[in-house]
Amino acid sequence: MPPPKDADVMLEARHVTAMLLPGGAGLPPVPVIVLELEDGREFTLYNVPYDIVRAVNRLQSKESYGFGDRESVFEIVVDMRDSIAGLGRLLEYVVIDEMDYTTSLYTAKARFNLGGIYMTRRMIPSHAVFLALLFSKPIYVSKRLVDQQEAFSRQQYEEEVEEE
């Protein structure tokens, strides 16, 4: 069941990619999750934990960025998802629909159906996306946040062009 319709339109993520973007001028790579949305646009979560990038890639049977032979709890959860299938049956969807403008951090909500009683948990977006991918549940993003991210990117680009 999709999130309730209100003044904010929710866009469904059709595809999710986790990767490391190259860092500039001697900086380390930047771990990101890119959500390709139903309207053809993208929404990017920057500076996500490396463990989440590795686990999403493992989940999607892609290359995992190695840290030796140690695994994170997220990678173990991928391998043991059948053991926690009950959690997946309770999860309905994940929606990224908040931003704290003082910290520039997004917040996601995971909605669980506990037999007709609904529980919503506020989560770190990358963790919520991982949970939704783990159990093949829908991921939604607020169109308002996508619009704001695009406007910010345009502004950053224009400022860089002006400096040159």
Separation of alpha carbons 59 and 130, rounded Å = 9
E strand spans, the chain: 10-21, 30-37, 42-46, 91-100, 105-113, 118-123, 139-142
What tens digit of pLDDT does each residue of 120-144 get? 999 999 999 999 999 999 999 999 9
Q: Are 83 and 101 in contact (CB under 8 A)?
A: no
Query: Given this model, what pLDDT does residue 154 score?
Result: 85
- Residue-level pLDDT at 138: 97
DSSP 22: P
The hierarchical CATH code for the domain 10-163 is 3.10.690.10
Predicted pLDDT at 82: 92
pTM, entire model: 0.87
Q: In what order do the strands lie in the sheet with 118-123?
A: 42-46, 30-37, 10-21, 139-142, 91-100, 105-113, 118-123
Average pLDDT, the chain: 88
User: Domain residue spans in the chain?
Assistant: 10-163
What percent of the chain lies above the pLDDT cut of 90?
62
Give Cα separations from 4 to 8, 10, 14, 111, 142 (angstroms).
10, 9, 19, 11, 12
Average pLDDT over residues 99-108: 94
